[in-house]
Every structure is written in structure tokens, then in C-alpha cells.
Amino acid sequence: MRILVLGSGAREHAIIRALLAEDADHDITAAPGNAGIADDVRTIGLDANDSQAVADYAQQHGVQLVVIGPEAPLVAGVSDAVRERGIPVFGPSKEAAQIEGSKSFAKRIMQGAGVPTGSAETVDSVETATAALDRFGAPYVVKANGLAAGKGVLVTPERDAAIAHAAQWLNSGTVLIEEFLEGREVSLFLLSDGENVLPLSPAQDYKRLLDGDEGPNTGGMGAYSPVPWLEEDFVDEVIETIALPTVRQLAAEGTPFVGLLYCGLIVTDAGPRVIEFNARFGDPETQVVLPRLITPLSELLFAASTGGLGGMPRPEFAFDVAVTVVLASEGYPEAPVTGRIILGLDAASEVPEVQVLHAATDVRAISTDATSSWSTENLIATGGRVLNVVALGSTFEEARDRAYAAIGTISLEGGQYRTDIAASVAPAAH
């Protein structure tokens, strides 16, 4: 199959690796990709957010499936332009993508569908935000209403910090003040063809920068899958009480959801509740879910894109454990330092059952002698989250040991990573 994957991060690298693992002779192009992706497939300098440019390229090159990785192209309506050309595309329409692009839209959909979630209030000024914070009480939950690259959410016991966070994001739109929910967080991906859903394996990510869940929120510093502490009927409960009602509500409103519904959940004493929806694969959870997938990913993506999930069996997953650890640049997430050289990837890849996925890398010629024009090509960091080291193992301990052995071989000046990813994972008590 001729496939175009839009995006440039480790999530897209994981998707591409899963497609290549099928050994199905796919012709894969990534736009724009990164240095690691370019080692695996062809990359092109196409603006993934330019709807007509993407649609033109897909049509001119006979693309049979477009897979949209990041949220920005979805919210920009890229999938609509591609669908108008009659080309299957994995990713919801601009209208349906509001489930991620607008927290208030998502809350309205959940309310209409009867989906369990926390109470929330949309505010448009510091005064109304302060009043809402006082009504909900501590711990305070403040969320940017629009896209925020994983940095728009703050949960804090400090009233002044909550007000400051609200004020920051009110500069670019409205803000949601939400009820605090007590429990453990988990992510569940569900494929949707607009009517039917199929679940992937649950995963848990680590959003805080530092060990012990300290430090600022990030886009995610690591993850693991499966999640043994969940009850056996967890996935079924989410499908029946959250995913299907949401998909049906969107369809009833004339905005059918075709693509990946990311359910960010919290497991409370009263059952799972929705913290947030995303309209695409999560990052870094994708990096631990897809390496365990046995069912061909291309079959699932194409079936979802063409209305064909009905009657399909649930995707099959290996019993292996997957753990990923994110290597980030110095200064991430507030002010990441970029342009520094990365070394040691060959040694990392030699660790058994390890793969290194690139999140923000490029290859550049860097002068090695200030007195001459001679230079050499080096792999450099171009963003905050730079690499994902992913390891499989028969146990959490084995997968962790492999991941940390591999990341220990990689050199990036000022680089930082958590040392406690999947350190204490206990099964559910029965």
C-alpha cells in the first residue's frame, strides 16, 4: 500500500516502524519526518498543515492511505481536503477534531452523550477564573481551552499558581476550570470508523518532568504498556460508557469521528472518568502500544478510514511489556536548548529488544575547526523531547533494564530523563 504519514515526531516514527514491521512491502512517505524517520523511509518537505498541498500531493502520487499523526493538521482541516479527493485518510474532520481542539466542545459532547467526567466551567477573564477556582476549591485544575502542546494543564494546591496559569492562557483564548478527580490516570486508544470502535491496549504515561512526579507538566517523559493494575473489565466499561456514546453523539451532530479517539482517563472509586479527549495517537503512549501490536496496523487504519471496522475482531497484542524513556533537551519544557550533538545511538540499538525512535532530530554539517571550512555531519537535537528509547521484555523489570541500559549509552549535553519510568507497577488486587 502507498501510505503518506504526516508528522515529525516519535509518535510518527512509531507508526512508521509498525507499518514496516508488517513486511508487506508498503511504499511509505513521511512529511516532513525527522532524521531517524529519514533512515527508514522517504521524507519530503511538505507542510503537513497545508490542506491543499497535502491533498494535491496525495492525489498526484497515487497515495492509498493518508495517516495524520499530530493534532495541528487535524484542527486545520487537512483530513477534509484529502477526503474530498476520494482518498482514505486516518484522522477526523476539522469539526470532529474539536474534541481535542476545544475543551469546551468536548465537555458539551460528553454532556450530551452522558459520558462520566468532572464538572467544569469555561471562563474568559481573570475575575471569572478566580471566582470559579474558589467555587471548585483545591486542588485546582486549570486547562487551556485550545491546543497547548501538552503544556496547558495545571493541577496545583496553590491558588496563586492556578490564577497565574489561567491568566497566562487567557491571553490566547478561554480557559476551563475543572473539578479535581482523585485516582490513577491511564490512556486508552480506540479506532473509530464513525460508527464502530475497536480498542488498542491501555498505556500509562508520565507527564511530569522529574522523578517522583515532580516538576512542570510536559508532553510526556515516558510510558509503559500493558497496565496490569486495571480491572479485567476496564476496556469493556470504557467502550460502553465513554467511547461508543461519544462517537454516536458526534455522528448524531453531523460530525462523524473517523480516526483515533484518545481517551485520557482517571480511574476513580466510582469508575473511569474522562480527563480529556485527543483526536489522534498519544505521545509517548503510541511508542509502547504499537510495538506490542500483532494485528497489521495498516489493516486497522485502512478499515477505520473506509468504514470497515464493523465485525472486525479486536486487535491482538503480544504479552510482552513495553517501556519507553524520553530523552529531553536541557531547559525543557520551558526553554529547550537545541542544536547540540547526539552520540551513542548505535550502542543503544545494540541492546536486545530496543529501538530508538526520533522525536526532534536533524542531520547538520557542523564545523569541527574554527580556522577552516572543513565540517562533518552530526545528528543534532532540534526540540524539547529528542528521542524515545523503547524496550520490550517479558517482565517490567526486564523491559526497564533494557531501556535504561540503552539510554545510558546516549550522549546529549544537558540531556535529561526520568529514572523511575515503570519503576513500581503493581497488578490489580482481586
Unique residue bearing C-alpha cell 517479558: 394
Residue 150: predicted pLDDT? 62
Q: How far apart (Å, rounded) are the C-alpha atoms in residues 391 and 313?
A: 27
C-alpha cell of residue 275: 480527563
Q: Which residue has the higher pLDDT, 119 or 39?
A: 39
- CATH architecture for the domain at 2-90: 3-Layer(aba) Sandwich (3.40)
Q: How far apart (Å, rounded) are the C-alpha atoms in residues 147 and 163?
A: 19
pLDDT exceeds 80 at position 374: no
Residue-wise pLDDT for 130-189, tens only, equals 998 998 888 988 888 777 666 678 888 889 999 999 998 888 788 888 888 899 999 999
When pLDDT is averaged across residues 347-355 and rounded to a whole number, the result is 97
Residue 401: predicted pLDDT? 97
Residue 373: predicted pLDDT? 52
Unique residue bearing C-alpha cell 464493523: 310
pLDDT exceeds 90 at position 339: yes
Residue 367: predicted pLDDT? 60
When pLDDT is averaged across residues 28-44 and rounded to a whole number, the result is 98
Residue 178: predicted pLDDT? 87
Of the candidates 184, 360, 205, 384, which has an alpha carbon nearest to the alpha carbon of residue 278? 205
DSSP 3-state helix, strand, coil percentages of the chain (rounded to 5)?
Answer: 30, 30, 40
Least confident piece of the model among 51-60, 176-185, 419-428: 419-428
* CATH of region 321-412: 3.90.600.10
CATH of region 183-305, choose from 3.40.50.720, 3.60.10.10, 3.30.470.20, 3.40.50.300: 3.30.470.20
Residue-wise pLDDT for 255-270, tens only, equals 999 999 999 999 999 9
Residue 430: predicted pLDDT? 45
Domain extents in the chain? 2-90, 120-178, 183-305, 321-412
Mean pLDDT score across all residues of the chain? 93
What is the dihedral sign for C-alpha 110, 114, 119, 121? positive
Residue percentage of the chain with pLDDT more than 90: 80
Q: How far apart (Å, rounded) are the C-alpha atoms in residues 307 and 6?
A: 21
Please give the class, per CATH, of domain 120-178: alpha beta
Q: How far apart (Å, rounded) are the C-alpha atoms in residues 400 and 418?
A: 12
